C-alpha cells in the first residue's frame, strides 16, 4: 500500500487534517495493514498518567505485515541485502520468501527452547542478517526483544538483562569490525555471572572462533534450527502488547527500558518510512545505523520491510578497507536512498573528496541524516559532494522514545534549510515552551520542544517503572510530552533543533547520561567524585570532558587516566570513554552542595571569559584553578 504524500501542497492539507481530526487521519492509514481483528477505537490517551493506547483492542502480529503480506506480490523481491565487512566476501540477497522461511524456522527454534509470548530475549549480535531474523522471530511468537548494542560492556549488558528479567540471550562468537575481530561470547559469559534469569544462550557462529559453550545453557544457532519447520503461525497480539524494549540513557544513572508496542509502532514506522524517504517499488534503500539503536529497529528492519522495500544491511564500518566504503557500497548496490549520521559525514569529509568522486553515485535520489544536529559545513559537503547539488538532503529529528521520525524534510518536496530539521510529519503537533511554562507562539524564539498530542509510536512506559516514564516525559509541562531538546521555529514554521537541555550528552549520535558516566568514573578506587560535561567535538558532535577529584592530585596523570578510562570501559563500554580528563582539587558547588555544571560546561567549551557570577559558590577559588588547568 502506497502511503506517500507527493507534494508540499498535499502535505499541508494532510497535516491540517491530521490535527483537525487525528483519529480519522490515522484510521485511514492503519486500515491498510493486516489485522487479525480490527481495532475498536483509534486512540485513547491520558498524558497525566502516561496511559496511551492506539488501535484499541485491535489484534495483529507485526511480522504478518513485515513478511506474510508481501509473499504473493514480492516473494522473490530482495528484502534484506546484506553487505559484509570484508568487500571481497560475497554479499547476501535474502528475498521476502526466504526471510519469511528463516524467521519462521527460528521462531520454531525459540519455541522449542521454551520461549513464550511475553518472555524477554536479549540480543547481543553483530550486524548480520541473523540479528534481524532474531528480532522478527521474537515478534512472531510474541516474545519481547531487547537488543543491546554490541559495543556495550558485560556490566551494561547484565544491568539490562536484570532490569528486563530476560530468559534468553542470543549472541555470536564475535563480530567483524574493519580489520579487527571483536569477541562477544566472552562478554556474555562475564555478564551472566551476575544474572539469574537467563536459561538459554543461543550462539550464532560468525567467526569460527574457539569459544567455550556451557553445557545445559549454551546452544549453537545452527543446531537449534535443525529440522525446524519453515512455517510458524504468528501469535495473535493485542495492539498494545509489547514488541520490544530498548534501553536508552537519561539524566539519572540507570538507563531506562523504552517500551514500544505492536500496533502503533508498525503503523508509524511504515508511514514515516514511505513519506520521508519516498521509497518507490524498485528502489534500494540503505540506512547505515546499527540495529542496536532505534534507527536500526525502525529504519532497517520494521519500517522498510513492512513497506516491502529492499533494505541494505551493512556489517562493517565506513573506514574499512578505506574511507570510500560507503560510496563504493552505494555504487555496488545502486542505492537510491541513503541514511546516515552527521558524525559519519564529518569523519568522511575529513578524509578528502577523492573517496566520494571516485564512486558513481548516480543512483542516489535522496540522502538523509539523523542522530544529532547537522552543522552547516557538514550539510553543505553532504549536499555538494555526495548529492552533487541535485538531490535533497533530509535532516530527520526524532528519539528512541518517539519510535519514528517526527520533524524532517519530506522526501524532497519540502523546502530545505541547512541546520533546520524542517516540518513536523502529519500527526505530529510540536510546540515550544518557555521558562514560564507557557507556549511560545512567536517565531525565532528558543524554547523547550514538546509535543501536544500522541502519535502511534510514542513511548508507552519505561519497563518496570511507569512512574519514571511519567516523571521524565509528562511532568515538566502538563498535558505535553517533553523531549528534553531545545529548539527554535522560524517564521515559516520550520524547526531547528538546538540540542539537549538536560544532563544528556550526545556523542557520535549516541546518548549518555552525565550521571551514568560519573557513576562509572566514581567506581574507580582513585576517585572521590567527578563531574562530566559535553564539549563541542569536530567529528563526534560532542565529546566527553570529565573533571575528577581524587584523594590527592595524582602524581602520574596518564596512569590515573588509564585507570579511569578502564572503569568507564568496564561499566559502560569504550563508546562512553571520556576524551578529556582533568584532575582538579575540588568541583565548583553551590552552598547546598550542588555541582555547578554550567560553569564546568563553559570551561570545557573554552569560554572562560564568560563564566558568569561565581560569588554565590561555596568555593569560588576553585574555579580559577580549574580554568588554569583546563585541557584545550
Ligand atoms: C536525541 C535522541 C532517533 C535517532 C537516533 C538518536 C538528538 C536526533 C537529531 C537531528 C538534531 C537530533 C536529539 C534527540 N537528535 N536526531 N536530526 N537533529 N538533534 O536517538 O539516542 O534516542 O537520541 O538525539 O537531541 O533528543 P536517541
Q: Which residues contact 290 (CB under 8 A, 6 or more apart)?
A: 127, 149, 150, 296
Neighbours of 616 (CB within 10 A): 9
- Angstrom CA distances, 51 to 21, 154, 215, 385, stand at 20, 34, 44, 46
Of the candidates 66, 34, 63, 64, the residue with the CA atom closest to the CA atom of residue 311? 66
User: What's the grid cell of residue 173?
Assistant: 562468537
Measure 585 CA to ligand 1 centroid, in angstroms: 35
* For ligand 1, atom 21: residue with the closest CA: 511
Measure 503 CA to ligand 1 centroid, in angstroms: 14
> Where are any strands of DSSP class E within 469-540?
481-489, 495-500, 504-507, 510-513, 527-537
Q: What is the pLDDT of residues 256-289, one digit of tens each?
A: 999 999 999 999 999 999 999 999 999 999 999 9
Give the mean pLDDT of the chain: 96
* For ligand 1, atom 4: residue with the closest CA: 371
Q: What is the pLDDT of residues 466-489, one digit of tens each?
A: 999 999 999 999 999 999 999 999
Measure 328 CA to ligand 1 centroid, in angstroms: 27
**The CATH number of the domain covering residues in 508-628:** 3.30.300.30
Does 614 score more than 90 pLDDT?
A: no
Task: State how far the Cα of 161 lies from the Cα of 188, in Å rounded to an integer.
Answer: 10
User: What's the grid cell of residue 513?
Assistant: 547520561
Locate the ligand 1 atom nearest the alpha carbon of residue 396 and give its number.
17
Ligand 1, pocket-test mutation among 367, 378, 399, 481, most atoms within 8 A of CB: 399
Give the DSSP H or E segment for 344. helix 342-349
Measure 496 CA to ligand 1 centroid, in angstroms: 12
Locate the ligand 1 atom nearest the alpha carbon of residue 249 and give its number.
21
Q: What is the pLDDT of residues 342-394, one digit of tens each?
A: 999 999 999 999 999 999 999 999 999 999 999 999 999 999 999 999 999 99
Q: What is the pLDDT of residue 155?
A: 97
Task: State how far the Cα of 549 lies from the Cα of 330, in Å rounded to an integer.
Answer: 48
- Average pLDDT of span 185-201: 98
Locate the ligand 1 atom nearest the alpha carbon of residue 499 and give its number.
25
Locate the ligand 1 atom nearest the alpha carbon of residue 509 and give its number.
6
Q: What is the pLDDT of residues 387-433, one digit of tens each?
A: 999 999 999 999 999 999 999 999 889 999 999 999 999 999 999 99
Q: Which residues pair with 405 in a beta bridge?
A: none
* For ligand 1, atom 8: residue with the closest CA: 371
Measure 425 CA to ligand 1 centroid, in angstroms: 16
The helix/strand/coil state of 204 is strand
Q: What is the pLDDT of residues 240-263, one digit of tens each?
A: 999 999 999 988 778 999 999 999
* For ligand 1, atom 11: residue with the closest CA: 373
Measure 399 CA to ligand 1 centroid, in angstroms: 5
Locate the ligand 1 atom nearest the alpha carbon of residue 400 and give its number.
22
User: What's the grid cell of residue 214?
Assistant: 556451557
Q: What is the pLDDT of residue 411?
A: 86
Q: What is the pLDDT of residue 251?
A: 80
* For ligand 1, atom 12: residue with the closest CA: 372
Q: What is the pLDDT of residue 539?
A: 96
Give the DSSP H or E segment for 162. helix 154-164
Q: What is the pLDDT of residue 592?
A: 86
Measure 371 CA to ligand 1 centroid, in angstroms: 4
Q: What is the pLDDT of residue 180?
A: 97
Task: State how far the Cα of 396 lies from the Cα of 605, in Å rounded to an integer.
Answer: 26
Long-range contacts of residues 69-75, Cβ cutoff 8 Å, at least 24 apart: 69/34, 70/96, 70/308, 71/96, 71/97, 71/100, 73/308, 74/308
Task: State how far the Cα of 373 lies from the Cα of 486, in Å rounded to an integer.
Answer: 11
Query: How would residue 212 be classed by pLDDT, with cut points 50, 70 and 90?
Result: very high
Alpha-carbon 429 to chain mean position = 22
CATH topology of domain 8-317+396-425+466-480: Rossmann fold (3.40.50)
Measure 36 CA to ligand 1 centroid, in angstroms: 34
Q: What is the pLDDT of residue 632?
A: 83
Determine how β-strand 144-147 pairs with β-strand 168-172: unpaired
- Average pLDDT of span 213-231: 98
Of the candidates 213, 195, 215, 112, the residue with the CA atom closest to the CA atom of residue 148? 195
Question: Is the pTM here over 0.95, yes or no?
Answer: yes
Q: What is the pLDDT of residue 250?
A: 86
Query: Residue 68 in contact with residue 308, Cβ under 8 Å?
Result: no
Measure 500 CA to ligand 1 centroid, in angstroms: 9
Q: What is the pLDDT of residue 611?
A: 85
Measure 352 CA to ligand 1 centroid, in angstroms: 27
Least confident of 50-59, 339-348, 608-617: 608-617
Q: Where are the alpha helices (DSSP H) in 450-529?
A: 466-473, 514-522
Q: What is the pLDDT of residues 303-324, one digit of tens each?
A: 999 999 999 999 999 999 999 9
Query: How would residue 236 be classed by pLDDT, with cut points 50, 70 and 90?
Result: very high
Q: What is the pLDDT of residues 488-533, one digit of tens each?
A: 999 999 999 999 999 999 999 999 999 999 999 999 999 999 999 9
Tell me which residues have their CB closer than 6 angstroms to ligand 1: 248, 294-295, 370-373, 395-400, 421, 483-485, 497, 499-500, 506, 509, 511
* For ligand 1, atom 10: residue with the closest CA: 397
Measure 408 CA to ligand 1 centroid, in angstroms: 12
Q: What is the pLDDT of residue 608?
A: 85
Neighbours of 120 (CB within 10 A): 24
- Angstrom CA distances, 544 to 152, 310, 533, 534, stand at 17, 37, 6, 5
* For ligand 1, atom 14: residue with the closest CA: 399
Which of left, alpha, beta for 478 (phi over 0: left; psi -120 to 50: alpha)? beta
Measure 417 CA to ligand 1 centroid, in angstroms: 18
Measure 337 CA to ligand 1 centroid, in angstroms: 20
Q: What is the pLDDT of residues 326-344, one digit of tens each?
A: 999 999 999 999 999 999 9
Ligand 1, pocket-test mutation among 511, 512, 542, 576, most atoms within 8 A of CB: 511
Q: What is the pLDDT of residue 81?
A: 98
Percent of the chain with pLDDT over 90: 95
User: What's the grid cell of residue 130?
Assistant: 541473523
Query: How would residue 14 be classed by pLDDT, with cut points 50, 70 and 90?
Result: very high
Locate the ligand 1 atom nearest the alpha carbon of residue 405 and give its number.
3
* For ligand 1, atom 5: residue with the closest CA: 371
What are the extents of the domains in the chain? 8-317+396-425+466-480, 508-628
Least confident of 114-123, 357-366, 369-378, 585-594: 585-594
The helix/strand/coil state of 361 is coil
Task: State how far the Cα of 178 lies from the Cα of 350, in Å rounded to an integer.
Answer: 19
* For ligand 1, atom 18: residue with the closest CA: 373
Q: What is the pLDDT of residue 231?
A: 98
Amino acid at each position: 500500500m502506497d502511503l506517500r504524500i507527493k507534494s508540499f501542497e498535499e502535505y499541508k492539507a494532510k497535516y491540517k487534517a491530521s490535527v483537525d481530526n487525528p483519529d480519522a487521519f490515522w484510521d485511514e492509514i492503519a486500515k491498510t495493514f493486516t489485522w487479525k481483528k480490527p481495532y475498536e477505537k483509534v486512540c485513547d490517551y491520558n498524558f497525566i498518567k502516561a496511559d496511551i493506547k492506539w488501535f484499541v483492542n485491535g489484534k495483529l502480529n507485526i511480522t504478518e505485515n513485515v513478511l506474510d503480506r508481501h509473499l504473493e506480490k514480492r516473494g522473490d523481491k530482495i528484502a534484506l541485502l546484506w553487505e559484509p565487512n570484508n568487500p571481497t566476501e560475497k554479499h547476501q540477497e535474502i528475498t521476502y520468501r526466504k526471510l519469511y522461511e528463516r524467521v519462521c524456522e527460528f521462531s520454531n527454534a525459540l519455541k522449542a527452547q521454551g520461549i513464550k509470548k511475553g518472555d524477554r530475549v536479549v540480543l547481543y549480535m553483530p550486524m548480520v542478517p541473523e540479528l534481524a531474523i532474531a528480532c522478527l522471530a521474537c515478534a512472531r511468537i510474541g516474545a519481547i526483544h531487547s537488543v543491546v548494542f554490541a559495543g556495550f560492556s558485560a556490566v551494561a549488558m547484565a544491568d539490562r538483562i536484570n532490569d528486563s528479567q530476560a530468559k534468553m540471550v542470543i549472541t555470536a562468537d564475535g563480530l567483524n569490525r574493519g580489520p579487527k575481530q571483536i569477541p562477544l561470547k566472552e562478554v556474555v559469559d562475564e555478564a551472566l555471572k551476575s544474572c539469574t534469569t537467563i536459561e538459554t544462550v543461543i550462539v550464532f557462529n560468525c567467526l569460527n572462533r574457539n569459544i567455550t559453550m556451557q553445557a545445559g545453557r549454551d546452544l549453537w544457532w545452527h543446531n537449534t534450527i535443525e529440522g525446524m519447520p519453515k512455517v510458524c503461525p504468528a501469535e495473535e497480539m493485542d495492539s498494545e502488547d509489547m514488541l520490544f524494549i530498548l534501553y536508552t540513557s537519561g539524566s539519572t544513572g540507570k538507563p531506562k527500558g523504552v517500551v514500544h508496542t505492536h500496533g502503533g509502532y508498525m503503523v508509524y514506522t511504515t508511514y514515516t518510512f514511505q513519506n520521508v524517504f519516498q521509497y518507490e517499488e524498485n528502489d534500494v534503500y540503505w540506512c547505515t545505523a546499527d540495529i542496536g539503536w532505534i534507527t536500526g529497529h525502525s529504519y532497517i528492519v520494521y519500517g522498510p520491510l513492512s513497506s516491502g522495500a529492499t533494505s541494505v544491511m551493512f556489517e562493517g564500518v565506513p573506514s574499512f578497507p578505506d574511507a570510500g566504503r560507503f560510496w563504493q557500497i552505494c555504487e555496488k548496490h545502486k542505492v537510491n536512498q541513503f541514511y546516515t549520521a552527521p558524525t559519519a559525514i564529518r569523519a568522511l569529509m575529513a578524509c578528502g573528496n577523492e573517496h566520494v568522486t571516485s564512486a558513481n553515485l548516480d543512483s542516489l535520489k535522496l540522502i538523509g541524516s539523523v542522530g544529532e544536529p547537522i552543522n552547516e559545513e557538514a550539510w553543505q559537503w553532504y549536499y555538494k559532494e555526495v548529492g552533487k547539488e541535485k538531490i535533497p538532503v533530509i535532516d530527520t529529528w526524532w528519539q528512541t522514545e518517539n519510535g519514528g521520525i517526527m520533524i524532517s524534510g519530506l522526501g524532497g518536496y519540502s523546502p530545505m534549510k541547512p541546520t533546520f530539521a524542517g516540518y513536523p510529519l502529519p500527526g505530529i503537533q510540536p510546540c515550544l515552551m518557555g521558562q514560564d511554562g507557557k507556549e511560545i507562539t512567536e517565531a525565532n524564539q528558543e524554547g523547550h520542544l514538546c509535543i501536544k498530542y500522541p502519535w502511534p509510536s510514542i513511548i508507552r512506559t519505561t519497563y518496570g517503572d511507569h512512574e519514571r516514564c511519567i516523571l521524565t516525559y509528562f511532568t515538566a509541562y502538563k498535558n505535553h510530552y517533553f523531549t528534553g531538546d531545545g529548539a527554535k521555529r522560524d517564521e515559516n514554521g520550520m524547526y531547528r533543533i538546538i540540542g539537549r537541555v538536560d544532563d544528556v550528552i550526545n556523542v557520535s549520535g549516541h546518548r549518555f547520561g552525565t550521571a551514568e558516566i560519573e557513576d562509572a568514573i566514581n567506581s574507580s578506587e582513585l576517585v572521590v567524585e567527578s563531574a562530566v560535561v559535553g564539549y563541542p567535538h569536530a567529528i563526534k558532535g560532542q565529546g566527553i570532558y570529565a573533571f575528577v577529584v581524587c584523594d590527592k592530585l595524582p602524581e602520574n596523570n596518564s596512569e590515573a587516566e588509564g585507570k579511569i578510562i578502564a572503569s568507564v570501559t568496564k561499566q559502560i563500554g569504550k563508546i562512553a570513554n571520556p576524551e578529556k580528563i582533568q584532575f582538579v582539587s575540588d568541583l565548583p558547588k553551590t552552598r547546598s552542595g550542588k555541582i555547578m555544571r554550567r560553569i564546568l560546561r563553559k570551561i570545557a567549551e573554552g569560554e572562560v571569559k564568560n563564566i558568569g557570577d561565581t560569588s554565590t559558590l561555596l568555593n569560588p577559588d576553585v574555579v580559577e584553578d580549574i580554568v588554569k588547568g583546563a585541557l584545550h
